[in-house]
């Protein structure tokens, strides 16, 4: 059983608690929760990555591999293994993550956006860790959305993507560090709708 601590003790194991939709900006949000606790880490992400996460959580598979499925297959085919994902910091409202791989006994770290990292970790059944100081101190609850909140940009068998890709993993109007904690404490559960694939 995991003790919730990451490899260096300053990281906490998290899991995907929910996908939400920020009603104010109509932006998808992945909500990570510490595995052995209640603290949350919401990260605003793009629609393509939200769809990839939502489809894996729902067990939806297409006859042809989508990008994250293809990457997972490629990693395994090349004799590598995704050991874990680390979400390490936030700078100017942009979150940073690393993919930690093992190949031939060598450990390799690759910079990645958190949304892509989470989508790949779900497919590879790899643990996800976040820096302890990124986790919010106030739990958020995600309300289920009505049908009109369901985005129309989810991919289909025919489309590779169906919407603009974000420049970074940015929280709209949300500052980093201490200000981010204050922002999260001020959020109302009604601010989020449920993201449904």
Domains detected in the chain: 7-140 (3.10.690.10)
pLDDT of residue 155: 41
CB 53 within 8 A of CB 119: yes
pLDDT of residue 109: 97
pLDDT of residue 104: 93
Q: What is the 3-state secondary structure (H, E, C) of the chain?
A: CCCCECCCCCEEEEEEEEEEEECCCCEEEEEEEECCCCCEEEEECCHHHHHHHHHHHHCCCCCCCCHHHHHHHHHHHCCEEEEEEEEEEEECCEEEEEEEEEECCEEEEEEECHHHHHHHHHHHCCCEEEEHHHCCCCCCCCCCCCHHHCCCCCCCCCCCCCCCCCCCCECCCCCCHHHHHHHHHCCCHHHEEECCC
pLDDT of residue 182: 56
pLDDT of residue 124: 96
pLDDT of residue 178: 55
pLDDT of residue 196: 59
pLDDT of residue 152: 42
- Structure tokens that stand for 66 in this block: 């989508």
Specify the pTM: 0.69
Residues (pLDDT < 70) of the chain are: 1-9, 137-197
């Amino acid at each position: 059983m995991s003790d919730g601590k990451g490899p260096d003790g300053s990281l906490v194991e998290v899991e995907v608690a929910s996908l939400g939709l920020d009603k104010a900006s109509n932006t998808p949000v992945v909500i990570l929760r510490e595995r052995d606790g209640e603290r949350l880490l919401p990260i605003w992400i793009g629609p393509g990555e939200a769809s990839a996460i939502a489809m894996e959580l729902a067990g939806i598979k297409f006859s042809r591999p989508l990008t994250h499925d293809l990457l997972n297959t490629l990693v395994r085919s090349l004799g590598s293994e995704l050991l874990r994902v680390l979400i390490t910091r936030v700078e100017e409202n942009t979150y940073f993550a690393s993919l930690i791989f093992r190949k031939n006994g060598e450990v390799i770290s690759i910079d990645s956006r958190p949304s892509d990292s989470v989508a790949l970790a779900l497919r590879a059944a790899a643990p996800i860790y976040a820096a302890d100081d990124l986790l919010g101190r106030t739990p958020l609850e995600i309300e289920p959305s009505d049908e009109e909140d369901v985005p129309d940009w989810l991919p289909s068998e025919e489309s590779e993507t169906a919407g603009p890709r974000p420049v970074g993993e940015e929280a709209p109007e949300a500052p980093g560090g201490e200000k981010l904690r204050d922002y999260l404490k001020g959020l109302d559960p009604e601010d989020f709708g449920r993201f449904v694939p």
